[in-house]
Structure 1
C-alpha cells in the first residue's frame, strides 16, 4: 500500500503544457480503467481542471504510473518531468488538503475547486477505482476543507475568475449594458461567468453549444437565446464579448473565423476570454488587431484583489492542515499493521480450533468434562505462551533487551528486577 500523487498545475507548468495533459470529463472513466487495468495502480482518482492535472493513486510503482500518463497522452516522459511534481503519502495528503481548501488555487480561497475534487472522486467511485485508501484520503480532505472554510476567513473578499472576466471587459468597454455577449459552451464555468455578466444587464446574451437543447436550457436562466456551434461563422461578428469554456480537444474558434468577424465589425474591438484547457481559441487570434484575447493565466493579476487579507487567514488554515496531516499519517500507520493483526488473529483461531477439536474427541470417548476443561485450558495456555517464552529465552544484547521490554509492555507486566 503506497499512496502517491503526481501531476502539474499553474505553479509548475504554463497553459501550453497543461492543456496537453488535460482529461475531459467524458474520457475520465476510460482513463481510470486504463490506469488501474495497466497494473500501474490498484486505486486511482484523476483531478483535471483548467489549472491542474493530478493523479492520486495507490501504487507500488509510481514510475509505472507516470509512464502510463506519458503513454496515454502520447508525450515523452522526459518532456513532462520538468513540470511534474511527485508526492509521497504525507505530502500527497497535505497537498490534497490545501487544494480542497483553496490554498493552492490561482484565486486564493476560491471554492470551485472543492466541487471539482468531489466530481473527480465521484467518477472514480462510479468506475470502481476508489478503494479504501483513497476513500480515506478524500473523506478527510473534504472534512479539512469544511473546517478551514468554517473557522477561517480564507475565502472572504475573494475575486472569482467569473468576476474577473467582467472586470476585464469593463476595462475595454465603457459599459456592459451596451454589449452583445456570446458564451461558447454550457458547462459550470460558463454558467458562473454568465451569471456575473447578466447582473450588469448586457444588451444581449447568447449561448453557443454543440447541443442546442442544453444551450437553450442555460440561456433561459439569463433571458438569452441559444445557437449551435455550426452557426458561429455567420454570427460571430455581432458580439463584442466572447467567453469560451468547452471540453473540446481542438480549437473551436480559429484565426480565419475571427479575421472575418473583425472585418465585418469594421474593426470594432472584440474582447475574448478563453477559459478552456485545452484552449478553445487558437493562440494566433491574440496577435490580431482589435482583438483582446485573454486566457486563464492572463487574468491572474485581476484576481489578486483582497489577497493580503486572505493571506493572513491562510496561515491559520495551514495550521489546521498541518494538524490534520499528522492525524492522517497516524491513520496510515495503523492501516499498515492490519495485515499483521489479521495474521495474528488467524493464528490464534487455528490454535483455538485445534484445541477445541481435541477436547471434543476426549468428551466423545467419555473423559470427565472437568479433566477435558483442565486439559483444554493447559493446551491453550501452552500454545499461546510458547512464542513469547521462546523469544525471551533466545537472543542477547540490545535485541534481547528490546524483546523483554516489548513483551513486558504488551502483557502489562512489571517484574521485579
Structure 2
C-alpha cells in the first residue's frame, strides 16, 4: 500500500495563494468526495486545511501524486505549474514523517503550538464521516496523535512558544502606550478569536466588542469578557470607534473593505488603528495596509514575532525529532507487514483445510472402532505429508538452479534450529 501527501503551507506559498485552497470544516466531506471520484480506483483520503496549510493525504495501490496535484490546482483555480512551484509532494516514509511533525507542532509557524493537533483530529473525523478513511490512513493519523502526545509530554517543545494571539498583543503594546486605554473589536467568534480575546482581556482594555454573523455565538463570547456584541452588518458604521481590530472568520471574501477603513480613519481624525487579519482567505482587503495611520498585520507578518526564543528550544526540537523518527519506523514496519497479510490469510486457510480433512478422517476411523493410537499416528502422518508435499515436489522438479533455490528455502523454513 502506497501513501502520499501533497500540500502548501506558510513556508512555501504566499497568503493569497493559500487562501485559494482554504476549506472550511463543513466543506471537507464534499471536497474529499470530489477528489476520490476523480480517480479510476478511489484511494483513501484526508484533507487538512488551516490558516497556515492545506494538505491532502492519500493511500492506494500506487502513488498518484500528479493526479492529486492536477485536481487540487483545478479546485483552487490555478495552473498545475503554479501550484507545483509552491507545493511539496511526499511519499511513504517522507509523507508519514511530515504528518507526525505537523501533528507535533514541529512544522508550525508557532513552534510547538498545540492547536494544530485539534485541527487534524477534526479533519480525520470529517474524513471518517465521509467514509474516505481506510485502514492505512487511520493507522497513520492514530500514530501521529500518539507521537504528538509523546512529544508534548516528553519534551519542552511548547514551553516557550509565543502564540499568534500573544504576538498580536505584543505588537499592539508597541503601538499603544497603555492597552488599558484601547477599545478593541474582535470580528468572528471562533477558536482563534476566543484565544486572542483571552490574551487581550488580560491587559484590561478600555472596552471589548464582538462582531459576528450570528449574535447568539457572539453574545456568548462577549459575556465571557464583559464586552458588547454587534452585527457584522453594523461594522462599517462603527469601525471608527475602535483602536484595535482583530479579525478571523471563515468568509471566502473580505468583510472589511478599503472604503470602510478610509471612512473610519477620517472620522477618527487620523488617530492610528491597529488591525490584525488572522483569516485565510483574508478578512481585510490587502489595499488597507497601504493607508496612513493603519497598522495591519496578517498571519505571515506575525512570523518574525512568533519565532523569538527559538534558539532556547533547539534541544527540545532534537528530542522531538527523535520521537518522530521512531514513530515513522514503526509505521513503515506496520505497512510492510500489511503486505504479507493476504499470504498469511491464504496459509491459514490452507492449513485449516488440511486440519479439517484429517480430523474428519480420524473421527470416521474412531467411529468404526479403530485403535486410538493408530488413528492418532495416521492423523499426524497425514498432516505432515500434506504440509511437506509442496516442498518435496519442488526438490524433485525443475532444473538444478531451481532445486538449489528450493533447497535453501526449505532449509531456512523447516530445518532451522530454535534459538
TM-score relative to the length of structure 2: 0.92
1:56 is the counterpart of 2:39:
no
Distance in 2, matches of 1:84 and 1:398, equals 50
Alignment match, 2:317: 314
Distance in 2, matches of 1:154 and 1:280, equals 31
Q: Which moved more, 1:112-121 or 1:276-285?
A: 112-121
Deviations 1:219-249 (A, max 9, x none): 1111111111111111111111111111111
1:28-177 equivalent positions in 2, closer than 5 A = 28-39=28-39, 41-59=42-60, 60=62, 61-177=64-180
Report the CA distance between 1:348 and its aligned residue.
Answer: 2.5
Task: Tell me: CA distance 1:401–1:295, structure 2 relative to 1, closer, same or farther (3 Å).
Answer: farther
Task: Tell me: CA distance 1:197–1:401, structure 2 relative to 1, closer, same or farther (3 Å).
Answer: farther
1:225-240 equivalent positions in 2, closer than 5 A = 225-240=228-243
Report the CA distance between 1:146 and its aligned residue.
Answer: 1.4
- Aligned match for 1:323, one of 326, 330, 333: 326
What secondary structure, in the 3-state scheme, does the structure 2 residue paired with 1:22 have?
Answer: coil
1:3 is the counterpart of 2:3:
yes
Distance in 1, matches of 2:402 and 2:313, equals 53
TM-score relative to the length of structure 1: 0.92
Alignment match, 1:388: 391
Alignment match, 1:345: 348
Q: Is contact 1:41–1:58 with CA below 8 Å preserved after alignment?
A: no
Distance in 2, matches of 1:357 and 1:67, equals 59
What secondary structure, in the 3-state scheme, does the structure 2 residue paired with 1:327 have?
Answer: helix
Distance in 2, matches of 1:275 and 1:62, equals 30
Report the CA distance between 1:352 and its aligned residue.
Answer: 3.6
Report the CA distance between 1:218 and its aligned residue.
Answer: 0.9
Alignment match, 1:260: 263
Distance in 2, matches of 1:193 and 1:309, equals 25
Distance in 1, matches of 2:260 and 2:393, equals 84
Distance in 2, matches of 1:402 and 1:312, equals 51
Q: Is contact 2:47–2:54 with CA below 8 Å preserved after alignment?
A: yes
Task: Tell me: CA distance 1:388–1:18, structure 2 relative to 1, closer, same or farther (3 Å).
Answer: same
Q: Is contact 1:109–1:310 with CA below 8 Å preserved after alignment?
A: no
Report the CA distance between 1:403 and its aligned residue.
Answer: 3.7
- Aligned match for 1:275, one of 278, 281, 303: 278
Structure 2 unaligned blocks of 5 or more: none
Distance in 2, matches of 1:412 and 1:3, equals 38
Structure 1 unaligned blocks of 5 or more: none
Q: Is contact 1:44–1:124 with CA below 8 Å preserved after alignment?
A: yes
